[in-house]
A and B are shown apart, each in its own frame.
Chain A
Amino acid sequence: MTTAPLAFETRSPLRILIWAAPIAVLLVVLPRAVDPYQTILLAYGLVMAIAVLGFNLLLGYTGLLSFGHSAYFGVGAYAVAFMVKYLHVESMELFVLGAIGASVLVTALFGYVCVRYTKIFFSILTLALSQVLWSLAFKFFWVTGGTDGLRVPTPKLLGVVTGESEDKIYFLAHGYYYYVLVIFTLCVALMWLIVHSPFGKALQAIRDNETRARFIGLRIRRYRLVAFLVSGVFTGIAGALWVPLNGLTTPDILYWPFSGEIVFMAVLGGFRNFTGPIVGAVIFNYLKSYAVGFTVYWQAFMGVILVVLVMVLPTGVVGTAKLLGAYARRRFAR
């Protein structure tokens, strides 16, 4: 990578709180203000935000572009579906734990192979391995349901039966939305701690200059493997949270264009920012939902956005907003 090393800003926790508190309040109040459809869309956005947050630990902080993150999302989702089908589990907490376990196994295996390479070979290898899982899910239809997928009923949250008595829309827009919101907040906080820890700094050093990082004595491959593991597990958690929302898991979420969408979201928000992936995922989700409702050619619409984005605004929405903010501040300081 030839881009100039960009430091991730380190702000005092207090200043972040000034930013984050109104947003948190807004997210909590929102289901009371808007109709359930909007809340469910936002829940989808937050779930994808967890996945992209994990993805960006590799792209933005470690400098590795994975084109196979659909695999870990799919592992999380299918882990839940298998727990429903074969173990008759109903508890959402167990689903998340199961998804974490499954994605640790798969990312450890895939990561061990993939982190030997960087750049384009890393991208192609992650893509090829994700397609192994896709073809298995696709062909072993007696286990995975093939293209019909597997149905996942409404789960129990915190051991309480929530889905059966009420209608499903209400459940998703209220109880489940808050459940997603809590896990989302935990994931954001955890990721913030990770990227600001010495481990996160080491990853950025490796991204900016591998040779120097090695001279300092960093074990590059081990750092990359751990980053890969964390990244895959975040995406796996997102997969687990996504299934009850969607009610169904199909091999489509393992197919490689879905990995492309994850990359798209990161770039849309700006992968050189901590908040970029979150903003990108939420915006992408709205854009896609409205484009799908508006035209059958939504894919071309999104494609044009992607092309224009990488041509004109390579730093994404958040990066551009920061640039404009800095510019405005300079103008007013004068």
Chain B
Amino acid sequence: MDILVIHLYNALLYASVLFLIAGGLSLIYGVMRIVNLAHGNLFALGAFVTASAVGQWFAGSQSAWLYLLLPAGALAAAAVGAVLEPTLLRPFYKRPEEYQLLVTFGLLMILEDVMRFIWGPYPVSATVLYEKMGSAKVGEWIYPRYNLLVIAIGAFAALFLWAFIYRTKFGVVLRATSQDMRRASALGVNVNLVYVEAFTIGCFMAGLGGAIIVPSQSAVLGMGVDALVLSFIVVVIGGLGSLEGALAGALIVGIIREIGISVFPEIELAVLYLIAAGVLLVRPAGLFGRAA
């Protein structure tokens, strides 16, 4: 029984991080109708910034204040997003989709090498945050407390985002822009500003995902490219542009992956992709998506 709890925790841990990445991707698509292929690199950027803040700049420190450095990666990703949207992406909203995909693919290649340039080819880690918290007892098993913190942050982020989008004035403006950009603009909404904000929030979420996962893993080159494909699976299952969908998709992928790792490790990834393809066949817009 206790082992089930551990599996559940692992699934939730995975789902939390995936929700943060895929939720950002989905939010950006929902508002701007653009699929950002470089989104995974912002996740990686968040991981690298937090890892080097904790593991390099403040190396050797054991202070509990180190936990305040966790959001550093998220803020860095948000800052990069706030610069990228007006300069690189804005000229492409009126162009055909293939150009949007291509410009973000070019951005992916550039960001990948920028990170290689700054941090070099070796992994960067911030394990002190992970080790400091110790483990909790689950029956006769132990489980790292830090993972529970990640789950809590994921849950809190989902709640916060829901409140932000459905309970604030900014959320109303955001949803209005996503439903009908021209009409929102006619009603006096500064669409350009909404776009920057939405893109920045999306990047912040991706960066936060990277920042909170990095103490238990390490930041390595290529982690962004891997993460992007997994978050594609999440948004395809949940529906592109839907945050509820991203949450449901992340939970489904988290659970299937946790089962897959112990039952069918070789075809775990293949099963995930096939499920995504199956969902697209039955419900092209995903479980929670609006028809395109």
Contacts and interface: CB of A to CB of B under 8 A. Distances in A.
Interface SS of A by simple majority: helix
Contacts of B35: 120, 123-124
A264 B104 CA distance: 12
B136 interface: no
Contact of B276 (A128, A264, A300, A304): A128
Given A1-B96, A260-B105, A263-B102, A121 B116 contact: no
Contacts of A263: 98, 101-102, 105
Interface stretch (B55-63, B107-115, B125-133, B145-153): B107-115
A125 B101 CA distance: 14
Interface string A257-271: 100100110010000
A67 B101 CA distance: 9
Contacts of B268: 135, 139
B265 to A, nearest CB: 8
Contacts of A117: 280, 284
B236 interface: yes
A132 interface: yes
B109 A311 contact: no
A129 B277 contact: yes
A302 B109 contact: yes
B194 to A, nearest CB: 21
B79 interface: no
Interface stretch (B70-78, B175-183, B184-192, B225-233): B225-233
B270 A132 contact: yes
B256 interface: no
Interface of A: 1-3, 59, 65, 67, 113, 116-117, 119-121, 123-125, 127-129, 131-132, 135-136, 138-140, 255-257, 260, 263-264, 267, 296-300, 302-307, 310-311, 314
Interface of B: 35, 37, 88, 91-92, 95-99, 101-103, 105-110, 112-114, 116-117, 225, 229, 232-233, 236, 240, 265-270, 273-274, 276-277, 280-281, 284, 292
6 contacts: A67-B101, A128-B233, A132-B269, A135-B270, A138-B269, A263-B101
Closest 6 CB pairs between A and B?
A303-B109, A300-B113, A306-B106, A135-B269, A303-B110, A307-B106
